[in-house]
Structure 1
Amino acid sequence: MKILMIHLSDIHLKKENDFIIKKSDKIISAVQNVCLEYDDIFLVITGDISFSGKLDQYLIAYDFIMDIKNDLEEYTGNSIKIIVIPGNHDCDYDNSDGKIRDIILDSISGNSKKDNKIDEGLIDNCCQVQEDWFDFYNSISNKEKIIHNHKLLQISEVKYDDYNILFYQYNTSWFSRKNEQYGNLYFPYDYFGEELFDKKADLVISFLHHPLNWQLNNNGFSFKKHLEKNSDIILTGHEHTPEQIERNDLSGKSTGYIHGNVLQSHDNDDNSGFNLITFDLDEEKYKTQKIVFDDDIYTRKGSNSEWNSFKKYKKNRKGHFKINDKFKDDWLNDPGATFVHSNKNNLILEDIFVWPDLELDKNDEESNYEESIFDGKLLIENKEGARKLFLIGEESSGKTTLCKMIFKKYFNFGFTPIYFDASNIKSEKYEDFQKLLLKRFKEQYNSKELEKFSQLKNNKKVIIIDDFHDNKLAPEFKKKFFNMLAKCFSNIIITTNSLFKIEEILEDDGLEMEHFTRYNIKEFGHLKRENLIKKWHKIGQERFLEKDNLIRKLDKSSKLFNRIIGSNYIPSYPIYLLTILQTEQAGNPHRLKESTYGHYYSFLITNSLGQINIQPEDLDFYYNYLSELSYFMFKNEIKILTKEKFKNEFHNYFCDEYSISMSFNEIKNNLIKSSLIEEFNNSFKIKYKYVYYFFIGNYLSNNISNKDIKTLTQELCSDINLEENANIIMFLTHHSKDPFIINELLNNAKELFKEYQLLEFNTDIESINGLLGKLPEMIYKEVDVIEHREDEARKKDKAEFNNKKVKEKDEESNELFELNLAFKNIEILGQILKNYYGSMKGKQKYDLVKEVFDLSLRTLNFLFEQLATSKDYFVKSINKKAEKNNLKEKDEIRKMIGNFLFHFAEFISYFVIKKVSNSVGNQKLNETFAEVAEEFDYISVELINVSIKLDYYQGFPFEDVKKLYNEVENNLLPKSLLKRFIINYFYMFDDLDYKQKQKIFDLLNIPIKTSHFIANKSTQKKLL
């Protein structure tokens, strides 16, 4: 694999008419055909991009660099990656208190020989002169490649199928002064822990603007040792003298130094040049070519340098064993299931892999989220020390896939991992296991290196044993096997399921098992699902998918996941999530009788049955069999079937009823193999909730004309407060839009809070508005939308973790019962609208939307009444708080009470309106929403409609927002709600440029807190 690095330096951009701006096309011409030879290309700039660190100079630099990048990408069809570091010219010395900064620099210089601990506050102060630089850096760098981000040191990693490259980007200019002095710089490399430099790589390149002779003598020497210890190649700038130097120490270690040329010298227009650096990762060698400006063209100066090896026994060099290509292609890179993507023909594992969260397996109900849950990618962070792990996961949780990624990660750390299927381990003896180990090495690596491997210390090997619950050794021999394994090997990873009794192995006092740690593989929460969705949509689109488009796709798929997964209907494991994403991309090609969402469940079930290779004509049989089985279990209130009941009471009845002669064992085994039912202790249950509810719904739908089924459906609809009833009705509406079902739901919904008027958000909320003198100022803080969405997903995961620990009370008041019924009805009626927007007639859709709006506004009126009746309780609570805080002024206390009650009312309103928006939101129902809004000229209805448009429509509804804001400008509660809707919209979407945002926020009188660099450049879209 060949890599090209276009090494620019010292551009000193000052004005838009700088001569180098006019030469950018000549730079492109000089390299464009060369670029065609390479697998990957980097555009590297080692400092002094600007002339004096001013914002307007960075704006010019952004255009200059992006023009080169975009033109080369268009010409070559390859993605150009950008790496930039700051130089002394990239500091704006007017942007700090120079005297204070000089005092800090002098103090650090004077103490540099001592054990001087640099304070983060001092670093921030010294880096104030680079504030605009960091905005520029954030706008142009590829954040996804960054694995460590600090003002003084960024670390990036680029991964390929067979190789990885590490980039260390040192900010030596943090110590620069306006009048740079030779030998006066200081870089606190020891401020950063050694673990940052322990990562293994095929090539490590360090970038710094200043050559080492510009450092203070004592610091320069130790910094040099640090760099050469951790780097294969070091690139610098500053001195405007291009050269390549190889430095060798007495132990035979070698480091390549490449000094950059000046691209623009304001003293001499013709003094301009740069380097082309070629890396051959297969042969582990590199060479440099100087390019200089001569006779109005950039031309090669002299011949290429000689090839130099970068295979130099560095401490971070990977292991030397080569993985077998067949093993790599057939197993290591195989996703484990056949997924089809429209943008790439053959997916490999890393295209779709996201590390799962892991939960420490311990009986400690008091531990919090941070103590219990951690990202699986941190699993193998202890690169030098021993790790002995049990990874416990259910079927389809991704245990084997996780083994593959652990294999790759350990290999990249310089270890030699060996994978075992536990069913092949048939002896507890070391000599037998050693034979199996050597056999697996020959299959997984270059067999010619077998002798070398056999002599490798066991602490450099990693034993990965998958699915140990399938191992056939008797328990006493399993104990002996683990005892042998724990004594002989330091790094052991074992996967098993939750039924495997680890304690039986660990309880033996003779075992050295105390260092084994157990982790449970978690289902994907909101954050991991967001990461998976992002990865899926970027496949084959890395260079073309704009950020706003990606965010829209993220939002759509995330909402789809939330609806399909529901109340844990489907295990949130990658194989199911990827199947949903694949189905979403393909559309609904087959079972058109199912609803919009119903076909996702149908596809999952059909996919499961596909594992047993049933014939297409048999699919209907299995659907009917499972429908009858699910209804049989529901009707008889059975959760677990004994074998006798399954065979004698159900199977025999089914065969008689349908005049079919089918083998019980054959059907039972097929359903087990397809993971639709599971067997344990000679008993059976339907494996997943979505299978159970899907087929009960299917049964009811097929028999809805039956009088008894109608009566049952009425009972279920009237009592959807119970989770099982609500789930059955939810799945029934996936199968049917029969008017009987819809009318039952509508009639029940109309009975809820029928004694309450619809809340209009007009004179009926005067008492709420009177609680506040004026609205507090709301500020929109500019954020990276994708990062914000991930933060919100992380908060949801934490909240759900904590909620599971809160036990629900057995009893609830009549009001809470009715409130829960209201929300369930809103959700189910909304699902019917979304499922059948294209096949329901307008009048029927109108009735459903109207009742959802009506019910939500009656519910809101009820909640406001509850708030009013509870006012005395809140007043007492706040008075107690005021006493604790020594607040004695009655006006202050009254203000505190009013503020609390107003914002509590706002919170309730926000929750109910978003509940409606999430339940019915669909742009294809626009005409129906408009019809309801026309009949009910209420501010509350307008708020619901604006919320729906913000959450589910393409584009920002500027005219609707403008009209509503003018109506509510003196109506505090809806005005505050509207502002929150808008701020939240821009935290979740990135459709509009800065000027458009400014127009909207000016209308709503919302200040924007943003980076001024982003503000000036926001109209320029970045490709991801």
Structure 2
Amino acid sequence: MKLLILHLSDIHVHENNNPVLERYEKIGATLLSVMPDVGAVFIVVTGDIAFSGSKLEYEHATVFLQNLIKYIESKISIPVHVILVPGNHDGEFKKSSNTRNATIEKIQEKGESFIDDEVIEHCTSLQKNYFEFEKQFATPSISDPLWKEYDYKFDDYNIAFSAINASWMSKVPEEQGKLVFPLKRYSSLHNRDATIRIVLLHHPLNWYSQGTYHPLRDLCRSSFQIIMTGHEHINSTNITIDDSGHESINLEAGALSPHNSKDSVFSVLTLDLGKKRFAHEKFFWDGDIYQPSNGSAVWDSFLALPEPRSSGFQINEITINKIESLGATFAHPNLVDLKLSDIFVYPDLLDIDSEDDQSENVSSDILSKQLESLGNVIIFGDDHYGKSSLLNHLYLQFHRVGYVPILLNPNELKSATEDQFSRIVKRTFTQQYDEDSLIKYTQLDKKKKIAFVDNIDKLGTRGDVLVRVLDYLSKHFGYLILTAGDRFDVTVLSSPEASNALKPFKSFRMLGFGYRLRNELIRRWHSVGSALLNEELQEKVHNAEQIISGILGKGLVPMTAFNVLVLLQTIEVNQKNALANSGLAEYYEFLIRRSLYDAKVQSDELDEHLSYLSHLAWEMYQLDTRVISEDQIAKFNQIFSAEIHKTKLIERLETLEKAKILLKNDEGYYFTYPYLEYFFVAMFMSNNLEEIPDLKEKIIHFCHHLYIKKNANIVLFLTHHSNSKWIIQEIASLLSELLSDIKPLELETDTKLINTWVGQKARIAVDTRDHITNQKRVRKNDDNLAKKDEPEQKTELTSIQELDRLSQLNLLFKTSEILGQILKGRYGSLGNKVKAELLKQLFDAPLRGVNYFLSLVNEVPDALLVEISDRIRAKVPNLDKEKSDRAAKRYIFSVIGSVADSFLSRQGEIIGSPKLKNSIEDLANSDGGLSYRLVSVAAQLSYPNHAPIDEIKRLSAELDQNYFGYKTLQGLVARHMYMYYLPQNDRHSLASTVGIDEKGNRSIEFKSHGSKKVANPNSKITHSKSLIAKLKDSFIANNQTIKERLSKYEKKIKDVKDKK
């Protein structure tokens, strides 16, 4: 059986002068050579049939289609069907009332949650002429103003068309990225059985809002074999592959009657249902006939049709609701009922079976893409890492592509016999699917059956039980996907039987949400159910990412999707009340309070529980232990009960264990996560400063030794618990001591020598096409760099000057981070004078860091050049000395320029905030010259939507002959353009101001915080938030000879200064 689809679009019928309407015979003639072999013809029009939606236009369109049908029927006696969808011209949208426009704005603001029957009726009222026209040609099996289903049966083949009215909320002019479609209203239509499922849309996917784009794209790719669109007047065919490895055919139609003199085009699709293949031809008007675009219509060049997706088994509503549940209550600002599929992001997995210690993590979407090659799978992971959510999402994904998964309860399997196994599986199936499908399921090929078992460790520790269960499941299911707790592998290793049973399974360990996954989850949270503008969305994503990565990125709290969602919800709540301007520590406290609340601690008991924990943490600090024995905690509880509040020890410990604040092992009790210990020690110190005089001296000691990790974390939380300004001053005094013998960089004088080493300003190219993809690349690199261990000072030094230069640089930025958080959290309570003093310290610190490296050039340039030039000639022996010297100069200029770019970019992130903009600009304009102004620009470029274009233009002009300063400014702007959406005019303006080409041959690749591949691929320097990670990848730290030389140069500098 063959079918023919004539795909027309964008006819744009006017009330008069429509020459294309007279070509119905010419259009029909293109089908003549293939029509004798087909059983039916479908005329599909994907929108913009009319030009302005008037009755007269549709009268003309009716005549055209009727003439076309009659012509085809006159040539061969086969059925001719017409299926239509409206476009943005198929409505009298120029007559849109203020009320309708206001409704559309509300839809774009609130998203799908705002849409109901009344809203749909109001918005589609301007399409009434189209609806009357549409009724003449086809009768849908399911009819709705926004979604119609057309079903056709030919022999044993069922063809289903889903016609989606994406233009229901169109306006004049149509704005890209603003369309919203309520997909959830039509969820029951997604998985209907058919041999071929075809979806018709006028607008391609790039015209929909962020909240609609991803769900609609996933729906089209997972539920339909063919996607037909119009609107953009581009005739193209492509095949896409979704996350599960399944293909979809995308047919974008050109315009039959374009607005200008472009070709009149359409396409014809032949479906060979028996052989599961298709052929596609495009035709264009040459002034006389419609010619095939490739010169001749060859109808024997077939491609394989994608397989149908539906399994024929319908999941019942109770199961769908259970699977879509997030397992916890999360209130979303745009959705009343937030579902798992709304925000799901595939977590990363570690391949336990890999023999390569350096193997990269893999995304868990590998399970949906490569199940056939992976076979049976077991995933280990701690609670709250999302094992259950992953299984639930995979359940729906596999069902969409034709498998029949069921989720089995390990508690039921534990003691089951062979006969009981069968009954359990059948009962589970009828609980999750349509009960009438049971017989059909029992006869289904086991290759189509997947068994999910969540928390297989609930089977117990007996290996023979695990063996019995897995043996049965393997016999009756094509694939098994199991999850288990992190410590279940100990059980497996202790039992030879269990170990052998799991040997054929591919083993993975679930990992936390790093920078890339957090970015993706935050973006999905803010995109779902809303139609935010690019500027609004990226600002929300940036602000949330700053807070959440500030908390989870320090490794003090588990990096789980659960914690990301808790913090996202907290941010939403805090924006509406007193915590709107809170520092990061307030969010840590919220996590603690939530844990206690989940453990059923009453709100009026929270203060007492927090007091108990702060005293316990201090007791453990005094004992210098991370684990407190049962005898020690009993003694502590006795003292606390006598001096503060009588507490029953056993009940209290049970509550704190339930809240996952304390854990117990063989030695005693300990805080579950490091941040809890630091948080409560800081709380105790803050609450008892007046009662215990020695505490102030201890805090001052901590501030002077922030290079010790414990000290730094306690001080961080102290600034949350205490408003004492003397603590801030102590931290600031430490910052001023770091690299104190180096003066801050003065661009006007300190760059004179290095500026002579290059002859002109270089242009760079930045790919600004997709800032979201760019952010993902940067975040992925952040994840890779976060894996690197930082050198950690374990013992205290008598003086900060005993730290080597790289350690001082590392501490410089860590100390800056603490002061930056204080400034951002207390911008409204600190006086302007205090803010200015702190900002001055924060401006000077990175400028001293840059000048440290630049001073090596200024003090002993010849020695440095000789070293680099000799190394170049050693690699390129035929290179003469003059050329190698020039190359060495460019190399050193590029590397130190990249360091400057990195240092200022990182410090910009630390102090950058719209709330501090005025204070930063005041300081930059008061003194400090060009260097201060560059730091100010770095701060304002560290967040979206506030690029100081006028100041950048002024700085660019003043740095015109200062190549080093210009390069640094260029790098800061390039990173901003790479990472954030900018309106086209602003983007072009910034690019032209600092010599940036948008897309070019010399691409710039940002790895983290302003770094890039410089012109010479051998001279790249990799940067990250960790300065040690930045510098240990540079030529300085990787080359022992250079390190020794630079150490000697630094000593020479000191000797010269001493003589002077």
Measured against aligned partners, the alpha-carbon deviations of 1:811-850 in whole angstroms (never above 9, x if no partner) come to 9953233323322221111111111111112222122111
Q: Is 898-907 or 316-325 further displaced after alignment?
A: 316-325
1:158 aligns with 2:219: yes
Measured against aligned partners, the alpha-carbon deviations of 1:158-196 in whole angstroms (never above 9, x if no partner) come to 269xx833435799xxx99xxxxxxxxx99x9xx89999
- Paired AA for residue 674 in structure 1: A
Structure 2 CA distance, aligned partners of 1:527 and 1:567?
15
Structure 2 CA distance, aligned partners of 1:377 and 1:28?
40
CA drift of 1:400 comes to: 0.9
SS for the counterpart of 2:669 is strand
Measured against aligned partners, the alpha-carbon deviations of 1:748-783 in whole angstroms (never above 9, x if no partner) come to 222223333222111122122222222322234442
SS for the counterpart of 1:464 is strand
Report matched runs for 1:173-252 at 5 Å. 199=246, 225=272, 229=276, 238=283
CA drift of 1:223 comes to: 8.1
CA contact (8 A) 2:682 2:721 kept: yes
Indicate the residue corresponding to 1:668 in structure 2. Answer: 653
Structure 1 CA distance, aligned partners of 2:997 and 2:179?
43
Indicate the residue corresponding to 1:852 in structure 2. Answer: 842
CA contact (8 A) 2:210 2:527 kept: no
Indicate the residue corresponding to 2:346 in structure 1. Answer: 355
Structure 2 CA distance, aligned partners of 1:844 and 1:459?
70
Note closer, same or farther for the CA distance 1:504–1:946 as it changes in structure 2 (3 Å cut).
same
Match of 1:23 among 51, 57, 64: 51
1:387 aligns with 2:381: no
Indicate the residue corresponding to 1:123 in structure 2. Answer: none
Note closer, same or farther for the CA distance 1:424–1:681 as it changes in structure 2 (3 Å cut).
farther
CA drift of 1:397 comes to: 0.2
Indicate the residue corresponding to 1:38 in structure 2. Answer: 144
Report matched runs for 1:469-548 at 5 Å. 469-472=457-460, 474-501=462-489, 503-504=492-493, 507-508=496-497, 511=500, 513-541=502-530, 544-548=531-535
Measured against aligned partners, the alpha-carbon deviations of 1:695-733 in whole angstroms (never above 9, x if no partner) come to 222222212333221121111111111122111111211
Match of 1:167 among 226, 229, 237: 226
CA contact (8 A) 1:355 1:375 kept: yes
- Paired AA for residue 164 in structure 1: S
Indicate the residue corresponding to 2:618 in structure 1. Answer: 631
Match of 1:832 among 810, 819, 822: 822
Indicate the residue corresponding to 1:959 in structure 2. Answer: 950
Structure 2 CA distance, aligned partners of 1:164 and 1:315?
11
1:603 aligns with 2:590: yes
CA drift of 1:939 comes to: 1.0
Note closer, same or farther for the CA distance 1:480–1:808 as it changes in structure 2 (3 Å cut).
farther
CA drift of 1:865 comes to: 2.9
The CA RMSD over aligned residues, in Å, is 4.6
CA contact (8 A) 2:350 2:509 kept: yes
CA contact (8 A) 2:180 2:212 kept: no
Match of 1:925 among 906, 916, 925: 916
Indicate the residue corresponding to 1:284 in structure 2. Answer: none
Measured against aligned partners, the alpha-carbon deviations of 1:576-626 in whole angstroms (never above 9, x if no partner) come to 111111111222667769943222112211111121222111111111112
- Paired AA for residue 935 in structure 2: I
Note closer, same or farther for the CA distance 1:207–1:433 as it changes in structure 2 (3 Å cut).
farther
Match of 1:684 among 665, 669, 683: 669
Indicate the residue corresponding to 2:681 in structure 1. Answer: 696
CA contact (8 A) 1:208 1:235 kept: no
Report matched runs for 1:72-91 at 5 Å. none
Q: Which runs of 5+ in 1 are unaligned?
A: 44-62, 81-135, 148-154, 177-185, 212-219, 241-264, 272-312, 1012-1024
CA drift of 1:137 comes to: 8.1
1:467 aligns with 2:455: yes
- Paired AA for residue 928 in structure 1: S
Report matched runs for 1:417-436 at 5 Å. 417-427=405-415, 429-436=417-424
TM-score, with structure 2 as normaliser:
0.69
Measured against aligned partners, the alpha-carbon deviations of 1:971-1010 in whole angstroms (never above 9, x if no partner) come to 11111111121222211222322x3433333333434448
CA drift of 1:405 comes to: 0.8
SS for the counterpart of 2:833 is helix
Structure 1 CA distance, aligned partners of 2:494 and 2:688?
52
Measured against aligned partners, the alpha-carbon deviations of 1:305-331 in whole angstroms (never above 9, x if no partner) come to xxxxxxxx99524222222212222x1
Structure 2 CA distance, aligned partners of 1:712 and 1:594?
29
Structure 2 CA distance, aligned partners of 1:593 and 1:333?
31
Structure 2 CA distance, aligned partners of 1:695 and 1:861?
40
TM-score, with structure 1 as normaliser:
0.72
CA drift of 1:533 comes to: 1.3
- Paired AA for residue 475 in structure 1: G
CA contact (8 A) 1:28 1:72 kept: no
Aligned residue pairs total: 824
The percentage of aligned residue pairs carrying the same residue is 23
1:949 aligns with 2:1008: no
Note closer, same or farther for the CA distance 1:745–1:338 as it changes in structure 2 (3 Å cut).
same
Indicate the residue corresponding to 1:316 in structure 2. Answer: 308
CA drift of 1:677 comes to: 2.0
Structure 2 CA distance, aligned partners of 1:670 and 1:338?
21
SS for the counterpart of 2:90 is helix
CA contact (8 A) 2:538 2:944 kept: no
CA drift of 1:157 comes to: 4.3
Structure 2 CA distance, aligned partners of 1:221 and 1:927?
62
Q: Is 939-948 or 772-781 further displaced after alignment?
A: 772-781
CA drift of 1:737 comes to: 2.6
CA drift of 1:810 comes to: 8.1
Match of 1:764 among 738, 745, 750: 750
Measured against aligned partners, the alpha-carbon deviations of 1:47-102 in whole angstroms (never above 9, x if no partner) come to xxxxxxxxxxxxxxxx9x9868949999998699xxxxxxxxxxxxxxxxxxxxxx
Note closer, same or farther for the CA distance 1:889–1:239 as it changes in structure 2 (3 Å cut).
closer
Measured against aligned partners, the alpha-carbon deviations of 1:18-43 in whole angstroms (never above 9, x if no partner) come to 98998244451398236796375699
Match of 1:404 among 385, 392, 410: 392
1:450 aligns with 2:450: no
Q: Which runs of 5+ in 2 are unaligned?
A: 21-47, 55-88, 93-125, 133-142, 150-166, 185-202, 257-266, 291-304, 796-801, 1002-1060
Q: Is 903-912 or 880-889 further displaced after alignment?
A: 880-889
CA drift of 1:496 comes to: 1.0
Indicate the residue corresponding to 1:564 in structure 2. Answer: 551
CA drift of 1:364 comes to: 4.3
Structure 2 CA distance, aligned partners of 1:597 and 1:829?
12
- Paired AA for residue 320 in structure 1: G
Indicate the residue corresponding to 2:879 in structure 1. Answer: 888
- Paired AA for residue 574 in structure 1: A
SS for the counterpart of 1:518 is strand
Note closer, same or farther for the CA distance 1:982–1:429 as it changes in structure 2 (3 Å cut).
same
CA contact (8 A) 1:429 1:481 kept: no
Structure 1 CA distance, aligned partners of 2:513 and 2:485?
17
Measured against aligned partners, the alpha-carbon deviations of 1:910-935 in whole angstroms (never above 9, x if no partner) come to 12212221111112123322332233
CA contact (8 A) 2:178 2:207 kept: no
Note closer, same or farther for the CA distance 1:8–1:681 as it changes in structure 2 (3 Å cut).
farther
Report matched runs for 1:743-762 at 5 Å. 743-762=729-748
- Paired AA for residue 675 in structure 2: Y
Report matched runs for 1:274-285 at 5 Å. none
CA contact (8 A) 1:199 1:316 kept: no
CA contact (8 A) 1:698 1:735 kept: yes
Match of 1:796 among 782, 793, 814: 782
SS for the counterpart of 2:402 is coil
